[in-house]
């Protein structure tokens, strides 16, 4: 059949199982948007308030569903506004296809109106980029883009299409999409070597990252922990890969990880690293990290092996496949003495906060209680992000969505919209600091336009909390440009953008506010006013060994 380029784009999206697109129209992409108008019964298009919001929404949709997220933008500033969202997805290995359109082919390279080389701009922050200048190559390029985005270590792909290609016609042949088959790069001997190391271990510890969620290996991780009686810690990106209420779970590791996880990894004799990349925020001082342990790393990306931490054994491949093969040969182990030592640490060093006043940890605990740990939580970046990671008990994968690698303030509101579109039956909540909320609060207009029932909780302390914490602890309390005491009323902003607004200032108001928001049937903003000098503890100073973790009680002493 003969179709024009815009029709081919939508046919290819349909082939790939895409039903939801986030974007913003403009001159060069008008042919595609005109075609979307004709197919509005097949595609849900969410018009965001800004292209960055579209990229974050596609990201949130992808993280929460496991599907490829799709966003669209026009040329020039439309495409460059996607850049932060693309970089966020790249750093956290999120499958996304960003479709942009450029000026007509004869106008390329002539500084034409709204012309920009978006592939050149995004080359360092994508798995791959394409520019389509021939309509006959359009369908195959789009199919290839989706394959690249979802295969191996996932990531974002940009497909830039000149406007004349979206109008040109050619023969289109439908394609059957099948799951690509990958060949295992590891051997039976590799598996047996790791099994032997586990059998010799007296103090094993399992360290779980985002790769466990991407590969769908959460059940295998849980079976591994039970089989060998090993405690389990996770990274920010690994939240939910292991049940946060399980007795083997010790909490997050790293800069704001629990003392038990940080001390435990420092004392273990074998560290099994499942889909994690040894981020600087996790390992602290690399020379002192788990220095008494044999380190095993399972990762799909060979480039991550020995990049930050030297391993004693490693297996490159899909984590779910690796653990499935390992469990076939792994014999049960008992480490009662080690687990008893871990339990003693948990009793001695529990997470704690000031219960006499309204705090973010209290809000997270109430939210966990009311939702029974079943909500999808997105966050922005800062203190509230760490509190959300520490105090909500994530039982399942794809329920905690946060910008881990790039640390993108303003990520969460777009992401929670995307998550809700992909999971309409789930309660979806974004936790934001007041500084982060200002960056993309215009996306409340998106939520109200479509009456998307998301909940936005602003942890309102009138400061850039995490930066202030560092200024307080390490910069002599010189609070340079981190104070937000101005005249912005977030409830009025929310109401002005079409959302219901609730302000809470004390603990007794929290439960009722959360229940009202959950039952509202539309977007709700809760402005939670807390004190400006609440701090996230525990904490490891940047670049220091994990054993130097401290909390408020250590400072008092």
Q: Which residues pair with 298 in a beta bridge?
A: 274, 315
The mean pLDDT of the chain is 97
pLDDT average, residue stretch 164-168: 98
421 among known catalytic residues: no
Q: Is 277 helix (H, G, I), strand (E, B) or coil?
A: coil
- 501-525 per-residue burial string, b: 16 or more CB within 10 A, e: under 16: bbbbeeeeebeebbeebbeeeebbb
Whether residue 300 is predicted with pLDDT greater than 80 in this model: the reply is yes
- Within 8 A by CB and 6+ apart from 126, the residues are 86, 90, 155, 156, 157, 158
The per-residue pLDDT for 557 is 75
The per-residue pLDDT for 134 is 98
The per-residue pLDDT for 556 is 79
114 among known catalytic residues: yes
Find the catalytic residue in 38, 113, 185, 219: 113
Kindly tell me the burial class for residue 137, based on how many C-beta atoms sit within 10 Å of its own C-beta (0-12, 13-18, 19 or more): middle
Residue for token digits 């399972």? 298
Q: How does pLDDT run across 245-285, given as a tens digit for each residue?
A: 999 999 999 999 999 999 999 999 999 999 999 999 999 99
Pairwise CA distance, residues 174 & 161, whole Å: 20
Find the catalytic residue in 14, 15, 114, 393: 114
Find the catalytic residue in 11, 127, 163, 420: 163
Kindly state the tokens that stand for 262.
Answer: 């940080």
Q: How does pLDDT run across 389-400, given as a tens digit for each residue?
A: 999 999 999 999
pLDDT average, residue stretch 124-135: 98
Top CATH class, 188-348: alpha beta
Look up the pTM and report it: 0.97
Find the catalytic residue in 7, 16, 22, 51: 51
Q: Do residues 305 and 316 touch, judged by C-beta distance below 8 A?
A: yes
The per-residue pLDDT for 96 is 98
Listed residue (172, 180, 160, 11) closest to 76, CA to CA: 160
Outline which parts of the chain fall under CATH 3.40.50.1220.
188-348
- The CATH topology of domain 360-540 is Rossmann fold (3.40.50)
pLDDT average, residue stretch 425-446: 98
Cβ of 122: how many Cβ atoms within 10 Å? 24
Find the catalytic residue in 91, 364, 466, 539: 466
Outline which parts of the chain fall under CATH 3.40.50.970.
2-171, 360-540
Q: Do residues 220 and 505 touch, judged by C-beta distance below 8 A?
A: no
Q: How does pLDDT run across 357-412, given as a tens digit for each residue?
A: 999 999 999 999 999 999 999 999 999 999 999 999 999 999 999 999 999 999 99
298 among known catalytic residues: no
Whether residue 180 is predicted with pLDDT greater than 70 in this model: the reply is no
pLDDT band at 305 (very low <50, low <70, confident <90, very high): very high
Kindly state the tokens that stand for 538.
Answer: 């525990």
Q: How does pLDDT run across 137-162, given as a tens digit for each residue?
A: 999 999 999 999 999 999 999 999 99
pLDDT band at 206 (very low <50, low <70, confident <90, very high): very high
Q: Is 2.40.50.140 the CATH number for 2-171?
A: no
Kindly state the tokens that stand for 463.
Answer: 């400061």
- 3-state per-residue secondary structure call for 362-411: HHHHHHHHHHCCCCEEEECCCHHHHHHHHHCCCCCCCCEECCCCCCCCCH
Q: Do residues 162 and 9 touch, judged by C-beta distance below 8 A?
A: no
Kindly state the tokens that stand for 99.
Answer: 């479709």
pLDDT band at 465 (very low <50, low <70, confident <90, very high): very high
- Dump strand ranges (E) for 242-340: 249-252, 270-274, 294-299, 313-316
Kindly tell me the burial class for residue 186, based on how many C-beta atoms sit within 10 Å of its own C-beta (0-12, 13-18, 19 or more): middle
């Amino acid at each position: 059949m003969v179709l024009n380029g815009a029709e081919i784009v939508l046919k290819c999206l349909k082939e790939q199982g895409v039903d939801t697109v986030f974007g913003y129209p403009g001159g060069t992409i008008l042919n595609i948007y005109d075609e979307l108008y004709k197919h509005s019964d097949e595609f849900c298009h969410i018009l965001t308030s800004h292209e960055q919001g579209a990229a974050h929404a596609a990201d949130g949709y992808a993280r929460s569903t496991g599907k490829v997220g799709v966003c669209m933008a026009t040329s020039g500033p439309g495409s460059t506004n996607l850049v932060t969202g693309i970089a966020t997805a790249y750093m956290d290995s999120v499958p996304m296809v960003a479709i942009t359109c450029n000026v007509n082919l004869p106008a390329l390279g002539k500084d034409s109106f709204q012309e920009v080389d978006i592939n050149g701009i995004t080359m360092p922050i994508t798995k791959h980029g394409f520019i389509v200048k021939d309509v006959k190559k359009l369908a195959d390029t789009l199919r290839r883009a989706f394959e690249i985005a979802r295969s191996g270590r996932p990531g974002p792909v940009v497909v830039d299409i000149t406007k004349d290609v979206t109008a040109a016609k050619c023969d289109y042949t439908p394609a059957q999409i099948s799951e690509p088959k990958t060949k295992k790069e590891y051997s039976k001997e590799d598996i047996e070597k790791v099994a032997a190391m586990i059998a010799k271990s007296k103090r094993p510890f399992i360290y779980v990252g985002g790769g466990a969620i991407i590969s769908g290996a959460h059940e295998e991780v849980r079976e591994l922990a039970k089989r060998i009686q090993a405690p389990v810690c996770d990274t920010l990106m690994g939240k939910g890969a292991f049940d946060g209420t399980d007795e083997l779970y010790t909490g997050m590791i790293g800069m704001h990880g629990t003392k038990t996880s940080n001390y435990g990894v420092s004392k273990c004799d074998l560290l099994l690293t499942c889909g994690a990349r040894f981020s600087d925020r996790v390992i602290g001082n690399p020379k002192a990290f788990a220095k008494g342990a044999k380190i095993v790393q399972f990762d799909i990306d060979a480039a991550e092996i020995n990049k930050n931490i030297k391993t004693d054994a490693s297996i490159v491949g899909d984590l779910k496949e690796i653990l499935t093969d390992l469990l076939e040969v792994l014999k049960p182990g008992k480490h009662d003495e080690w687990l008893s030592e871990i339990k003693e640490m948990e009793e001695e060093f529990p997470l704690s906060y000031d219960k006499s006043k309204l705090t973010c940890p209290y809000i997270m605990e109430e939210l966990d209680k009311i939702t029974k740990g079943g909500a999808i939580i997105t966050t922005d970046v800062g203190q509230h992000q760490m509190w959300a990671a520490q105090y909500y008990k994530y039982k399942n994968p794809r329920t905690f969505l946060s910008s881990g690698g790039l640390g993108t303030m303003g990520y969460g509101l777009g992401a929670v919209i995307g998550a809700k579109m992909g999971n309409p039956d789930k309660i979806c909540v974004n936790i934001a600091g007041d500084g982060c909320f200002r960056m993309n609060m215009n996306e409340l207009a998106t939520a109200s336009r479509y009456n998307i029932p998301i909940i936005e909780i602003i942890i309102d302390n009138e400061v850039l909390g995490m930066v202030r914490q560092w200024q307080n602890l390490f910069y002599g309390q010189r609070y340079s440009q981190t104070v937000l005491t101005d005249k912005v009323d977030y409830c009025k902003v929310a109401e002005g953008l079409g959302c219901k607004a609730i302000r809470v200032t004390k603990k007794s108001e929290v439960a009722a506010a959360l229940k009202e928001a959950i039952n509202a049937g539309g977007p709700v903003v809760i402005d939670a006013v807390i004190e400006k000098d609440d701090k996230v503890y525990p904490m490891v100073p940047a670049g220091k060994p994990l054993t130097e973790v401290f909390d408020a009680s250590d400072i008092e002493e």
